[in-house]
Structure 1
Amino acid sequence: MTYDSDALNASIKAAIAEANDDLRALSMSIHGKPELAWEEHHAHDVLTAYMEKQEGFVVERKICQLDTAWRASFGSEGPLIGFCSEMDALPGIGHACGHNLIAIAGCAAAIGVARALREHKLPGRVVLLGTPAEESGGGKCLMLERGAFDGMDACLMVHPGPRGNGAAAMTSTCRTGVTVAYSGRSAHAGGAPEKGINALDAAVQGYVNVSTLRQQLPTTTRVHGIIAGGEHWAPNAIPASSKLLYGIRAPSAKDLAPLVPRVLACFASGALATGCTYTTEGQHLYLELQQNSGLSGVFKSFSEGEWGDEGYEVPAGMTTTASTDFGNVSYHVPALHPMFLLPSASPEDFPHSSSFADAASTPSAHQAALRAAEGIAVAGLRVVVDESFRNQIRKEWEADMAASGAEEAIKQIREALPATGEPVKGGFCSCDH
């Protein structure tokens, strides 16, 4: 099939430009009413209402047995390109990860590709997924398990960062999390301490053990956590229960697999030393991003051709110690997750800070998000209309999967820390920049 890339890209740009004001209002509506993981009811409602108004889209609400997940589909035949809109905010600081921008960027990319296919009478399908609970809960993990990403030829989304952190193909770390619950026996701390079994001591020992372990770990790993459960403690009573909440990160699943049992041994020794019993509950495993070089090349070429380095930098090969459940998507289909910078944010205004939440509401942040949306729309449309490119990125992805050697490592991690198959509220941030 022959196609005019300039004409197709012009259709994308026109569609996104026409949607500018509505998308700005949508972004500010979501930003002004931040909702935590699994509670994104307002975002779900306003985003689905918006997509229902877009020509040719069919919207499904509350998909995958998840109250705040949704799907907007365009087209009935041809290759399938997917996009994601994240929605959840952070406790206390609102949209400090800019998910209001991610949400509208997904909408913009989807309607841009749909316009190009419709105007040029080309076969192809578009799916935009509203994906809840990226920060805490692994929404995309559950949606993957329940088939939401099946059949896609590729999937793309974007994410904001502070100035200096734009990147066409920034990688992420592989991450798992664990909740450790210690159980002991209460007693009067002054009158009969010998009758108690101190669950707080168990947590303290586990915490100190991890701190001792940490100095022997590679600098590329991260093990970080807190002691929790103190709402019922009193200084004159031996605590009968306590919790540890921990995140464990490494550059890849292969690096993470041998680290997990070492950390779990730290928690076990805390129980052994104090006589407590304990349980562990794993969180969803967030795999490292497998950024597709073909997709990133198209995104980078288009973005630099349109805007150069003026307010939008896209150097390839940058790394981050943050994690995302979109990494799991990149293990399922060829994928791209570029970072775009917020022009008003300084390098100190990092995601998960109140100043970043402020930056995510600015007009310049909105324009940066739409520029990034144009980039992933152009790359996504190329997948749909160019069979040779589609085959190229598939071969690249298959080679990346083979090179990762992650299958056995993933199995080991999930056996050591099985995650619940249902949405879990609370905990702590998985993205955790």
Structure 2
Amino acid sequence: MTGTNERIEGTFEQNLDSVLELSHRINANPELAFEEHETSASIIAALEDGGRFTVEEGVADLPTAFVASAGHGDLVFALCAEMDALPGIGHGCGHNVIAASAVGAALALAPYADELGLTVRVVGTPAEEKGTGKEIMVNRGVFDDTHAAMMVHPSLKDVVTPQLRASRSWQVTYTGRGGHASRPWNALNAGDATVVAQTAIGLLRQQLRDGVRVHHVVKEAGAAVNVIPDRAVTDCMIRCDTIAEVDEVWERVRRCFDAGAVATGTSVEYSALPSIYREFRHDPDLAPLFEQNAKAIGRTFPDYPDTMFGSTDMGNVSLRIPAIHPMLSFDLPPEDGNHTAAFAIAAARPEGDRFVHDAGLAMALTIAHAAQTDSVRTRLLT
């Protein structure tokens, strides 16, 4: 296996400059969920320029989603390339380096795919930040003939098996009766309903299990101080260890929103937002292989007391097929972590480049390792 690793690493290094250029280009042109047209085209071009990939675009009826394949082996591995950015702060979650590392790994493996009995796929997955594109792709069969999938995510820690949690979101709309603020007695204040609901949720939190998170943001609650608002809109997200627990907690949180309507005499409507992030299940064979290969190229994995991160629709994939989602770090202060403008800047600078190198090479070596380990290969194919 050493000889194969050396050839894969050599090919990876040959492609690294172009892969880093891809990362920087994506970072400089951030696109939001389901709108990643330039990003998707850039990734596809990088793979087609490699000369070994055939590409199917618009998979799952999603215009920016794609599957690029190389090799004809019976063991099919997917490298997931996330593409979307965050409103206002661009690639503050580092999706540019996630996509580039997937491309780097795929280009390094492609020349040896048939030799290893592999079909290597890069799956362009839109709308991770909002809309859970992978959930749509899973449900529409994109991963049905794939044996395993992986990606690596940037963070401030190096963790092989992070705790990635389930979440779901709802929109809550109150409708009241507007009026002049100087004569409010005939009005029904929809903005007040949000205050009552938030207060009730704050009190509910002491009754929730440790680790349960209830996030909410008031998106609309009036436009002028001298007008009683007749409409208010709140988005609410609940994050728990499993999607079943999310749904259980929502029933309690919903009653808090009901209380806002009861207290103010307004009406309330609920709509589920199209974002469902399921819990992540780390594959017990692929995770230690990744750790071994990442350590071989210089990464270390400290025993952190806290390895709880956010949510990802890669969890939706992991409940369907074997998958891993390790974290590799940027060396930044805590205040410059994920979902900040500082993290977006770092993703196109040396920290981001280091991530692309280490994550891409570690994934390539891990897939080759799995393909040549009889027990792992047999289990994945079974």
Alignment TM-score, normalising by the size of structure 2: 0.94
Given residue 245 of structure 1, which amino acid in structure 2 is its aligned partner?
D
2:35 is equivalent to residue 39 of structure 1: yes
Give secondary structure in 1 for the equivalent of 2:335.
coil
The aligned counterpart of 1:152 is 146
| 2:243 aligns with one of 253, 260, 268 | 253
| 1:190 aligns with one of 167, 182, 185 | 182
Question: What are the superposed Cα offsets for residues 220-259 of structure 1, whole Å, 9 maximum, x if unpaired?
Answer: 11111111214x5222222111111111111223433321
User: In 2, Cα distance between the equivalents of 1:74 and 1:189?
Assistant: 66
- Structure 1 residue runs of 5 or longer lacking an equivalent are 396-433
Contact 1:253–1:287 under 8 Å retained in 2: yes
Shift of 1:365: 2.4
The aligned counterpart of 1:20 is 16
Shift of 1:330: 0.6
User: In 2, Cα distance between the equivalents of 1:335 and 1:41?
Assistant: 26
The aligned counterpart of 2:99 is 103
User: In 2, Cα distance between the equivalents of 1:240 and 1:338?
Assistant: 47
Shift of 1:208: 1.3
Given residue 326 of structure 2, which amino acid in structure 1 is its aligned partner?
P
| 1:336 aligns with one of 317, 320, 324 | 324
| 1:63 aligns with one of 55, 59, 66 | 59
User: In 2, Cα distance between the equivalents of 1:237 and 1:364?
Assistant: 49
Question: What are the superposed Cα offsets for residues 33-69 of structure 1, whole Å, 9 maximum, x if unpaired?
Answer: 1111122121111111111112321012222111221
Given residue 124 of structure 1, which amino acid in structure 2 is its aligned partner?
L
Given residue 90 of structure 2, which amino acid in structure 1 is its aligned partner?
G
User: In 2, Cα distance between the equivalents of 1:97 and 1:105?
Assistant: 14
Shift of 1:351: 0.6
User: In 2, Cα distance between the equivalents of 1:285 and 1:203?
Assistant: 24
Question: What are the superposed Cα offsets for residues 133-161 of structure 1, whole Å, 9 maximum, x if unpaired?
Answer: 11111111111111111111110000011
User: In 1, Cα distance between the equivalents of 2:355 and 2:227?
Assistant: 55
Give secondary structure in 2 for the equivalent of 1:170.
coil
2:265 is equivalent to residue 275 of structure 1: yes
Question: What are the superposed Cα offsets for residues 57-105 of structure 1, whole Å, 9 maximum, x if unpaired?
Answer: 1012222111221211113341111110111111221111111100101
User: In 2, Cα distance between the equivalents of 1:317 and 1:176?
Assistant: 26
**Structure 1 residues 297-336: aligned runs within 5 Å:** 297-307=288-298, 309=300, 313=301, 319-336=307-324
Shift of 1:359: 1.5
Number of residue pairs aligned between Structure 1 and Structure 2: 381
Shift of 1:205: 1.4
Contact 1:140–1:325 under 8 Å retained in 2: yes
Shift of 1:196: 2.1
| 2:44 aligns with one of 39, 44, 48 | 48
Alignment TM-score, normalising by the size of structure 1: 0.83
* Identity score, percent: 34
User: In 1, Cα distance between the equivalents of 2:306 and 2:233?
Assistant: 35
Question: What are the superposed Cα offsets for residues 257-276 of structure 1, whole Å, 9 maximum, x if unpaired?
Answer: 32121111111121122222
Q: What is the alpha-carbon root mean square deviation over aligned residues?
A: 2.0
2:330 is equivalent to residue 349 of structure 1: no
The aligned counterpart of 1:368 is 355
User: In 1, Cα distance between the equivalents of 2:66 and 2:302?
Assistant: 30
| 2:234 aligns with one of 229, 233, 244 | 244
Report which of the two has the higher share of strand.
2
The aligned counterpart of 2:79 is 83
The aligned counterpart of 2:109 is 113
- Structure 2 residue runs of 5 or longer lacking an equivalent are none
Give secondary structure in 2 for the equivalent of 1:125.
strand
User: In 1, Cα distance between the equivalents of 2:324 and 2:353?
Assistant: 20
The aligned counterpart of 2:223 is 233
